[in-house]
Homo-oligomer: A and B are copies of this chain.
Amino acid sequence: MRVLGVDPGLTRCGVGVVEGVPGRPLTMLGVGVVRTPADAELGHRLVAVEQGIEEWLDAHRPEYVAVERVFSQHNVRTVMGTAQASAVAMLCAARRGIPVALHTPSEVKAAVTGSGRADKAQVGAMVTRLLRLAAPPKPADAADALALAICHIWRAPAQNRLQRAAAQHAGRAPLAPNPASKGRTA
């Protein structure tokens, strides 16, 4: 199961790809940040986010995209940009028929650290350990994107299968339809 996690933002949009199944060691396939200049026009920034997400989808062909759920209770100065960047990420995935899952920040923290109120350093430390990295990914948005992907792999695999079946066809098959392959490869 290959998941692209997206920590949405206009200035820094964290992206990370993790492959694995619950109960086995996970593998990081890539991590990075899509940046757009703060002084650019909003429309152009959204186009740049779209191009960046498209490149990550092209490069890694994830089966799921996990995006942080945005709450309007957050800082009112940044929440609009976050909502807009997350809309672009969801749009890019849905256009390709890739199921999109939303996870709240506390769900993600709880998944990787055991506590929904863990701080950034704790999340970074656990992501580093779980993915057997040499050092915590920087910036924090990149680590958060990997945590989102891990959270999605670990949470509700049955729900994932249902969503995927609805979005594409029955079973755990990869994106390209392959009805002959019914065995469990994961």
Contacts and interface: CB of A to CB of B under 8 A. Distances in A.
A47 B102 contact: no
A100 B43 contact: yes
A93 B47 CA distance: 9
A39 interface: no
Main secondary structure of the interface of A (DSSP, over half): helix
B42 A100 contact: yes
A70 B82 CA distance: 13
26 contacts: A41-B94, A41-B100, A42-B90, A42-B102, A43-B90, A43-B91, A43-B93, A44-B94, A46-B87, A46-B91, A46-B94, A47-B94, A47-B95, A72-B72, A72-B76, A72-B80, A80-B83, A83-B83, A83-B84, A83-B87, A84-B86, A84-B90, A87-B87, A87-B88, A88-B88, A91-B91
Q: Which 10 A-B pairs have the closest CB atoms?
A: A43-B94, A84-B87, A83-B83, A87-B87, A43-B100, A72-B76, A43-B90, A46-B91, A47-B94, A72-B79
